[in-house]
Structure 1
Amino acid sequence: MTVSRKFNEKKTVSVLGVDFSGGQPKAGVDEGPFQMIEFGILDQIKELGWGVEFDGSFPNYKKLVPVEDPDIGNMKHPRAVSNVTRALARHVRDSAMKGNFALSLGGDHSIAIGTVSGTAAVHDDFCLIWIDAHADINPVAETTSGNLHGCPISFLIDGINKSAVPEFEWVKPCLTPDRLVYIGLRDVDIPERRIIKELGIRAFSMHDVDRHGIGKVVEMALDHVNPHRNRPIHLSFDVDALDPTVAPATGTPVRGGLSFREGHYICEAIAETGLLVAMDMVEVNPTLGSDESLLQTVTVGCSLVRCALGETLL
């Protein structure tokens, strides 16, 4: 199909380092962005012919975390997550308004409340491709853990959270079920299974990857959320979508995940559409595992970003 819209003509990436871990209980994931910067992701992006907007500093989202943040119902750290994601949404929006590609390096996956909201503020017809072992669509009233990295999509689709959450009133539902697709699922909670079925959300589990192969799965995913290949794409990639043998330094690893090549193929194929406008790379946790496992995970994270920005094997 012919792409009828042009994105990324400016060929500039706004790199947003999101040093935040409040959406889950394990410390250290807020150090993920620093490690990717230290590993040289900025120069790697430049070598692909992109300009980079990054002034050498982070917005320091940690300063937005309140001293006291008591639970609200099941939700843990709700004010911290709200404050950080609201600020991040503005930063992503501002990058998109300049015609830049918004690259958000997390941090935990709760940051997607902000990144996706920021993309939607400029590209209101966008679609969301969610690469993850987990569906992250738990209603806040039904999450058993209370960790908001398992709930971000519930804020983005109207009607999933039945009761208003005052702390998140700034979040406007910006996503419809037909514009969301999952790839790589293998650890899905019971409420999430119900919602995916009720809303008819297209979800490709690892069973589907095994059955069809990753090439066919990506083609079917794109055909569903972007049938005319004219919608801007937001790619949200949790490194735990990969098998722990590929990316071990992450907080919620689940065996039986995507292989090294399957993860890279997803990014390569989406890059080939010319429609990718934003990407999240999240849940790299430098404090989990050995120095070797950290290097392996950060290396893979940087490689996935490069593929999403057009790096090819030949």
Structure 2
Amino acid sequence: MALRGGFARLLRGQAAPARLQRPRQAHSVALVGAPFSRGQKRRGVDHGPATVRAAGLLERLAGLGCQVYDFGDLNFTQVPNDELYNNLISYPRSVGLASQVLADAVSRAVAAGHSCVTIGGDHSLALGSVSGHARQCPHLGVIWVDAHADINTPLTTQSGNLHGQPLSFLLRELQDKVPQLPGFSWLKPCLSASDIVYIGLRDVDPAEYYILKNYDIHYFSMRDIDRLGIQKVMERTFEQLMRRRQRPIHLSFDIDAFDPSLAPATGTPVLGGLTYREGMYIAEEIHNTGMLSAVDMVEVNPLLGASQEEVNATASLAVDVIATCFGQTREGAHTAFDELPTPSSPDESDSEEQVRI
């Protein structure tokens, strides 16, 4: 698996040149492209990073005062003879190897002092992004914004798609329920059930529901959001994650958390999702904690939009979420403004005004 130039520097621990900078940055942000699609069977999600970048992500972050380091995309190569595991699980070696490389990249970015934004790609990439983040921040908390729980095990999944399973591999409590997949020997569970809060669930498989209930994982379904309101949901989220100590936050955001009317260009849309206002409020409140350390934005699939307008709307929504995580607000967000300008010359005297007239 070859790495393009920016990533080669990142993995060697060398500094990369900033593509876009502002002198008064609010954040140092590393962009990590993960154009990976082997966690599911639909084509097109590997074009997600390019689509989100084309929607103006770098320019938006730079306009907020962020110092932006874009390390380009990981160049994933197909693993030969990547046979099904247990006659069901697709591309285990490809997913395992890609996740390992991504984990290394995210770990380096966080160690260098950046807030790391991973642009997917399908949600199996969270295996790598969360693992790499946890190497540097072992006490991190994860906010998983998604229509789906993505916590099936290889023994409970019906689809065989690994993008519906990443959290089962990451959770310590499930270690004895998850078999050792080929390509996954490097991966060690790094989260406990109390480290995770879900927001936006509305399509949960029976085995996933069993796991959520029996392992006491906190979640807020769309029904909970309707009942409580998004403000109370976020208050309870932070009570769960921050009640013992302040900790770095990893936000893993699947674009299908939004209602399909807002984000149609994605692989597994489910009716009744987040509104625009709810999605932005989630990102605003996470930003306001000052503890955001890493973000995943996944499952933007430009091949699944019925029109270019649908693709543009989905990509722009992804950019809005990421930008809001780094300071964009609906009250107005701009680079630092120190003082109002004053006139450069004295006002005309009355006599001068008369002469001019």
Q: Is the 8 A contact 1:10 1:99 kept in 2?
A: no
Secondary structure of the residue aligned to 2:239 is helix
Q: CA–CA distance in 2 between the matches of 1:132 and 1:39? A: 22
**Paired amino acid for 2:329:** T
Which residue is 1:299 aligned to? 316
Which residue is 2:73 aligned to? 58
Q: CA–CA distance in 2 between the matches of 1:91 and 1:10? A: 22
Q: Is the 8 A contact 1:21 1:30 kept in 2?
A: yes
Residue 229 of structure 1 deviates from its aligned partner by 5.6
For 1:251-262, list aligned pairs within 5 A. Answer: 251-262=267-278
Report whether the alignment pairs 1:80 with 2:97. no
Which residue is 2:116 aligned to? 102
Per the alignment, do residues 220 and 159 of structure 1 end up closer, same or farther by CA in structure 2, a change over 3 Å counting?
closer
**Paired amino acid for 1:158:** R
Q: 2:83 aligns with which of 57, 70, 73?
A: 70
**Paired amino acid for 2:84:** D
Which residue is 1:308 aligned to? 325
Residue 42 of structure 1 deviates from its aligned partner by 0.7
Residue 226 of structure 1 deviates from its aligned partner by 1.7
Q: CA–CA distance in 1 between the matches of 2:59 and 2:66? A: 10
For 1:1-314, list aligned pairs within 5 A. Answer: 11-55=27-71, 57-61=72-76, 63=77, 65-73=78-86, 74-160=88-174, 161-228=177-244, 230-289=246-305, 290-314=307-331
Residue 68 of structure 1 deviates from its aligned partner by 2.3
Residue 37 of structure 1 deviates from its aligned partner by 1.1
Secondary structure of the residue aligned to 1:248 is coil
**Paired amino acid for 1:77:** Y
Residue 162 of structure 1 deviates from its aligned partner by 3.8
| Pairs aligned (count) | 303
Q: Is the 8 A contact 1:10 1:100 kept in 2?
A: no
Q: Is the 8 A contact 1:75 1:140 kept in 2?
A: yes
Q: Is the 8 A contact 2:152 2:164 kept in 1?
A: yes
Q: Is the 8 A contact 1:81 1:110 kept in 2?
A: yes
Q: Is the 8 A contact 2:173 2:215 kept in 1?
A: no
Secondary structure of the residue aligned to 2:138 is coil
Residue 228 of structure 1 deviates from its aligned partner by 4.7
Secondary structure of the residue aligned to 1:167 is coil
Which residue is 1:4 aligned to? none
Q: Deviations over 1:253-304 (max 9, x none)?
A: 0000000110111000000000000000000000012111001000100000
Q: Is the 8 A contact 2:173 2:193 kept in 1?
A: no
Residue 159 of structure 1 deviates from its aligned partner by 4.1
**Paired amino acid for 1:309:** F
Aligned sequence identity (%): 45
Larger Rg: 2
Cα root mean square deviation, aligned: 1.2
Q: CA–CA distance in 1 between the matches of 2:81 and 2:258? A: 35
Q: Deviations over 1:24-79 (max 9, x none)?
A: 11100000100111122111111111111114x32212x2x213211001311101
**Paired amino acid for 2:145:** I
Q: CA–CA distance in 2 between the matches of 1:158 and 1:216? A: 28
Q: Is the 8 A contact 2:144 2:251 kept in 1?
A: yes
Residue 117 of structure 1 deviates from its aligned partner by 0.2
Residue 224 of structure 1 deviates from its aligned partner by 0.7
After TM superposition, which residue ranges in structure 1, 4 or more long, deviate above 3 angstroms?
A: none
Q: Is the 8 A contact 1:15 1:102 kept in 2?
A: yes
Query: What TM-score results when the alignment is normalised by the length of structure 1?
Result: 0.94
Query: What TM-score results when the alignment is normalised by the length of structure 2?
Result: 0.83
Q: CA–CA distance in 1 between the matches of 2:158 and 2:109? A: 35
Q: Is the 8 A contact 2:168 2:178 kept in 1?
A: no
Stretches of structure 1 that go unaligned for 5 or more consecutive residues are 1-8
Q: Is the 8 A contact 1:229 1:273 kept in 2?
A: no
Residue 119 of structure 1 deviates from its aligned partner by 0.7
Q: Is the 8 A contact 1:15 1:103 kept in 2?
A: yes
Q: CA–CA distance in 1 between the matches of 2:245 and 2:323? A: 22
Secondary structure of the residue aligned to 1:168 is coil
